[in-house]
Amino acid sequence: MRVLAVWIVALSSLHGLLAQSIVFVSPSTKGLLTMSCAEGSLSSFEQQHYLAAVRYLASSLCPQSHIDSAVGVWKGQAENSGMIDGCQNDPARELGVLLAKYYHQEQALVFERNERGKASLVSFHAGQPLGVIAIMMAQANVSGATVIPHSHDNVIWVVAADPAQREQAITLSSLLHGDSLREEPGTAELIGDNDHAKAREIYRAILARAPAEVRELESEMYSEQFNDLGLETAPGH
C-alpha cells in the first residue's frame, strides 16, 4: 500500500511539472445522491461514456493528460464525477466547458497551478470509506471535495479558495489521519452559473471565441459516433 501511495504522489508531482491546470466536472444529471449510490454510479454506462468522451477530447486538447474517475462530495451528498490533470490553462477551460455543456452541468471547476495564486489545491490519502470522509468533512467545515477511490487508499482533493478554507482542508486531513499531504498554490475558476440556461449561454459564448479545433470537437460531440462512446467498455456489453 505504501508503494502505491508513493507512486501516486510521484505521478501527481510529475503532472504538476508537465501541466498547469486540473479540470473537475461531473456527467451526472441525477442530482446529489447518497454515498453508496454515487460510488455505485462509477460503474454505470453514464460514467463509462463520460470517461470515453474525456479521453476522446483530451487526445486533441491535452494529449499528456491523466484522467481519473471520482466521486464529488458536497455537504454530505455525492455524485459520480471525474478529474482531468495535464492541460494548459486555455485547453483546460475549453475541455471543462465542452463537457459541462454536453452533460448539462451548471458549472465546471478549473484549478490553475500558479505560484502567485491565492487559492490552494490540497490533496492527501486516507483509508476511510466515503461515508466517514463525508462525516469528517462536516466536522472540518469542508463543504466540497473530490475523492478518487482506490482499495483502502482514497485520494482526496480539496480546492481551497482562501486561507480559511485551506486550514479547513488541512484539518480534514488531520481528522482522517491523512497521509502524503500536498499543497499547491494557484487560482480557482468556476465556469458557468447556478441557473442552467445562463450557464449554457456562458458556455456558448466561450466556445464561440475558441479556436477552430475546439469548435470542430464541439460539433463532433453531437454525432451518433460520439453518443456511442463507452459502449464497448460498459458492464454487460
Residue 10 has pLDDT above 50, yes or no: no
Report, as an integer, the average pLDDT of 86-98: 96
Structural domain spans, the chain? 2-218
Percentage of the residues of the chain whose pLDDT score is greater than 90: 78
For residue 13, give the C-alpha cell: 508531482
pLDDT tens digits, 161-176? 999 999 999 999 999 9
Question: What distance in Å separates the CA atoms of residue 55 and residue 67, rounded to the nearest whole number?
Answer: 8
Report, as an integer, the average pLDDT of 116-142: 95
Question: What distance in Å separates the CA atoms of residue 152 and residue 1, rounded to the nearest whole number?
Answer: 8
For the chain, strand residue ranges (E) read: 21-24, 66-74, 77-87, 107-113, 119-126, 144-148, 154-160, 179-192
pLDDT value of position 83 = 97
pLDDT tens digits, 28-70? 988 777 888 888 899 999 999 999 999 999 999 999 999 999 9
pLDDT tens digits, 95-126? 999 999 999 999 999 999 999 999 999 999 99
pLDDT value of position 94 = 98
Other CB atoms within a 10 A radius of the CB of residue 102 amount to 18
Residue 17 has pLDDT above 70, yes or no: no
CA–CA distance from 186 to each of 21, 68, 113 (Å)?
A: 9, 21, 4
Residue 13 has pLDDT above 60, yes or no: no
pLDDT value of position 151 = 79
For residue 170, give the C-alpha cell: 488541512
pLDDT value of position 25 = 96
pTM of the entire predicted model: 0.86
pLDDT value of position 169 = 98
pLDDT value of position 233 = 56
Question: What distance in Å separates the CA atoms of residue 169 and residue 158, rounded to the nearest whole number?
Answer: 6
Q: What is the mean pLDDT of the chain?
A: 89
Question: What distance in Å separates the CA atoms of residue 27 and residue 49, rounded to the nearest whole number?
Answer: 9
pLDDT value of position 235 = 52
Residue 26 has pLDDT above 60, yes or no: yes
